[in-house]
C-alpha cells in the first residue's frame, strides 16, 4: 500500500521512549492504518473506523479483560 508522504502517524502516549514495541495509527481517508513504529517502511494493516471504535470501546469498558 502506498501512503501519502504527508500522512501523520501517531504513537500512543503509553509507548516507551526506549525502543519498546509500539504501534502507530494514521488516518488513511477511508480506513485507519496501523504499523510497527520501529519499521515505518514495513507493512500497514488497515481497519474500518467502526471496527476500531468497537475495539476501543470494549477495551475501555474492560470487556476484553475477561
10-65 pLDDT per residue, tens: 987 777 666 667 889 999 988 999 999 888 889 999 999 999 999 989 989 999 87
Query: What pLDDT is recorded for position 48?
Result: 96
Query: What pLDDT is recorded for position 3?
Result: 75
Query: What pLDDT is recorded for position 47?
Result: 96
Pairing of strands 45-47, 23-27: unpaired
- Please tell me the distance from the alpha carbon of residue 35 to that of residue 22, in angstroms, as a whole number: 9
pTM: 0.73
Query: What pLDDT is recorded for position 45?
Result: 94
- Please tell me the distance from the alpha carbon of residue 44 to that of residue 33, in angstroms, as a whole number: 6
Contact 46, 1 (CB under 8 A): yes
Q: What are the boundaries of each domain within the chain?
A: 21-65
Torsion of CA 7, 45, 19, 63, to 10 degrees: 110
Query: What pLDDT is recorded for position 53?
Result: 93
Amino acid at each position: 500500500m502506498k501512503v501519502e508522504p504527508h500522512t501523520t502517524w501517531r504513537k500512543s502516549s503509553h509507548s516507551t521512549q526506549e525502543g519498546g514495541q509500539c504501534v502507530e495509527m494514521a488516518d488513511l481517508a477511508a480506513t485507519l492504518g496501523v504499523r510497527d513504529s520501529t519499521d515505518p517502511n514495513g507493512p500497514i494493516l488497515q481497519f474500518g473506523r467502526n471496527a476500531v471504535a468497537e475495539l476501543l470501546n470494549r477495551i475501555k469498558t474492560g470487556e476484553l479483560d475477561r
